[in-house]
Each structure stands twice: as structure tokens, then as C-alpha cells.
Amino acid sequence: MNLTEAKARFIADWGRFGTNWGINRTMAQIHALLLVSPDPLGAEEVMEELSISRGNANMNLRELIDWGLVQKVLIPGERREFFSAEKDIWKVARQIVKERKKRELDQMIPVLKELSEVDGDRRDKAVKTFTDTIQNIRKFSEQADKTLDTMIRADEHWFLGSLVKLFGAAAR
Amino acid sequence: MNLTEAKARFIADWGRFGTNWGINRTMAQIHALLLVSPDPLGAEEVMEELSISRGNANMNLRELIDWGLVQKVLIPGERREFFSAEKDIWKVARQIVKERKKRELDQMIPVLKELSEVDGDRRDKAVKTFTDTIQNIRKFSEQADKTLDTMIRADEHWFLGSLVKLFGAAAR
DNA sequence: TTTAATTTTCAATACATTTTGAAAGTTCAG
DNA sequence: CTGAACTTTCAAAATGTATTGAAAATTAAA
């Protein structure tokens, strides 16, 4: 397989996988394109490579910047903006975890707190099941919250080295 | 807040969160409903509680069964099928991780292997960036693969106890 | 300034997914 | 068997999401 084919394949597949991750197809494709580009690209090049409109390119590039996965790069002597992606995949993963935690888990925790304050007689089976379930989910969420925070703070090296060994050891 | 309100709120919110997780709204709502129901429910009750059609209820109940989150329950003396959800949220999380790993990561790994075999001169900057990036993603994926396998095998107690302590300790 | 290059916005449109409901299929009590 | 209870299927409709493209806004070179 030559580079051109491989690149096209990677962009298509990364786009497909992205949709499983709350990232839309185009956004993931742009990300893929920038991941394998040695140099920053301009909006025009992104549009051409992926055959997408200016508006679409612009919107998804901004979204990638919001997610902290892509940065604007200024090239001396160039008027227009260029974009480049963080290439260290561990940093990418950490960034995604961080963003999703913010957008999802952090929103859910207060809701659960509120729901756990439902009133009613706990001898009522329906009430008991409800409060037990919510309580269960709450504990899980709070645990996940702490664990993810630690992961986000943890540096790459530690994550790669220790966590693996740890999981490995615990499983034996 | 009384039980009826709280239940409605939980179903709505769980449905909303579900969509961030590759699970459609109705599927997540049915799951929520079953999570807080003391007893198994029939299709008819699910349809009524959520105001959805028969076909929709049927399709999403089957999907929940596919994901291993809901089980058919036979009630003696009853002709029709009843459904109940696994209430232990740690088991639910493990089941979701397991399924998503199967559907996503396990599909990606062979693709990456293929892409890493791109031919071309590594002194070419474009080739080098491509192979380096793919290699990087491959390592990450294989690591994630192992780690998730361990997580899936790990029992709840270990997961709750040790992992937390571990992350905590490593962060200090 | 002015003006041309570039970026951003957003209503209209295209595309994708979900839901419905009625028909077909299945199961089982009588 | 037969028929009523129940479940599944699936084409059509509704809903939701992404994309386009042209116009408006912004930027910076002249």
C-alpha cells in the first residue's frame, strides 16, 4: 500500500471510529488528516483533501480547537491561519477524557444528588428501589470522577509504565 | 420531589446522557425505567410509561438484551415476556466496556496493523510522519486492549478498592 | 482610510437515524 | 388443529444532525 492510499484509508477509518466517540465524522477526519501531516495545513488544503465546504471545515476546525486537539499555528509571512494536531496520542486521549468528563460526568453528578433526595416511605418497595439505584449510580459516578481526575493529572510516563504493570499484577 | 417526578426526571436525564454514549435515547430511557423498577416489566408497560410504539419498545428491548444490560424474565403463569435490568452499576459499566471494546477497539487493531505496513522511503518526511503516527496509535491501542481486558476480568471489589487506592497513591 | 484576503455565520438543504403502526409471524391454551 | 395473545418485522414518516454556500464580519496590507 502506498502513502496516498494509506492516508485515505486512515482518514476514512478514523472518521468512522470517531462517530462512536461523540465526535462527528468530519471532525474526526480533519483530525486524522492533521495527525499524519508533517506540517500545519490551511483551511483551503483541508477543504480540498477532504472535499468539504469552507463552512464545514471552519466549524469543525473550531470544534477541534475547543476540544484542545488542534492548535492554530501562525506561519511568518503568511496571512492565513494554519492548523496542526497534537501528535502524542496519550495526550490526545487524556484531553478527550478531560473534555468528556467536563461535558458529561460533571453535569450528571449534581442531577444525581438532587434525585437522591426524593421523598417517600422507604418501606415502599418502589421508593426503596429508586433510592438504592440512584445511590448506587452516585457512588459509581463519584468514584469515576476521582479516578478520571487522577488519570488526567497523571503524566504520560507514569500512565504507560505503572498502570499497566499494576493492572497486570492485580490480574494474576 | 416525589417518586413520580423523580422517576420521570431520571428517565429523561439518563436518556440524554445515553446519547453521548452511542446508545439511543429510547434505549437509554427503557434502561432507566427498568433500573428503577422493583419488578420486571412487560412490553406493554414500557410502551405506556414512555409513550412509545410497540415496534420501538420491542426493537430497543432486544438491543438492550444484545448489550447484556437487560434480561428476559419468565413469570410463572404469565404468557407474555417480562424484562429486568441488571441493577449493579459496576456490572453495567463492565458490560458496556466489554461490548464497546468488542465493537470498536477489536476492529481497529487489525486496521492499524495493515496501515503500519505502508511502503515508501522513511527519509521522506510525509512517510515518516505517517508511520510514526500510526505506530504511536498502535501502541496505545494495544495497551488499551490489555488494560481493558484486565478491567473486564477484574471483580467489582478489586476494582472499587484497589484501583482507586492505586491511582490515589501514584498521584501523590 | 480603503480594499482585498480571509474567516465566520446561518438559513436552507441534504443526509442519517429513529419511530411508528399495521401486517406478518409465532406461540400456546383450549 | 384453531384462534387469540403476544412478538417481530419493515416500509413509510418523523425527527435529528451535518453540510453547504453565499452573505456578513473581520482582519491586515497597501
Which residue in this structure is represented by grid cell 477489536?
B106
Q: Which of A20, A118, A164 sits opposite B1 (nearest CB)?
A: A118
Q: What dihedral angle (degrees, nearest 10) is formed by the CA atoms of A46, A51, A56, A59?
A: -20
Q: Which residue is nearest to nucleotide C6 (CA to C1')?
A: A80
Residue A24 φ/ψ, nearest 5 degrees: -80, 165
Residue A47 has pLDDT above 70, yes or no: yes
State pLDDT tens for residues A63-73: 999 999 999 99
Interval A22-26 mean pLDDT: 90
Rounded Cα distance, A85 and A33, in Å? 9
- pLDDT score of B158: 54
Q: Do A118 and B163 touch (CB under 8 A)?
A: no
SS3 content of chain A, % helix, strand, coil (to 5): 70, 5, 25
Which residue from A103, A158, A167 is facing B150, i.e. has the nearest CB?
A167
Q: How far is the CA of A121 from the C1' of C24 (A)?
A: 47
Distance CA A69, CA A82 (A): 14
What stretches of B79-155 adopt beta strand conformation (E)?
82-85
Full strand arrangement of the beta sheet holding B41-42: B41-42, B82-85, B70-73
CB-CB contact of A15 with A29 (8 Å): yes
Cell numbers at A12, concatenated: 476514512
Strand C lies under 7 A from the Cβ of residue A66 = no
| Mean pLDDT rounded to a whole number for chain A | 89
Looking at residue A20, its pLDDT comes to 84
pLDDT in tens, A134-150: 999 999 999 999 988 98
Averages of pLDDT over each 10 residues, chain B, 172 residues: 96 92 92 97 97 98 96 94 95 90 92 95 95 96 90 67 44 36
Local structure of residue A89 (DSSP, 8 states): H
Question: Cβ of B108 under 8 Å from any chain A Cβ?
Answer: yes
Task: Determine whether the distance from the CB of A42 to the nearest atom of strand C is below 7 Å.
Answer: yes
Q: A17 and chain B: CB distance < 8 Å anywhere?
A: yes
**Of B134, B129, B127, residue with least CA distance to A89:** B134
pTM for this model (two decimals): 0.88
Q: In what order do the strands lie in the sheet with A41-42?
A: A41-42, A82-85, A70-73
pLDDT given at position B141 = 94
Q: Are strands B41-42 and A70-73 parallel, antiparallel or unpaired?
A: unpaired
pLDDT exceeds cutoff 90 at A48: yes
Measure CB to CB from residue B115 to each of A9, A100, A124 and give the nearest one: A9
A13 close contact with B: CB closer than 8 A: yes
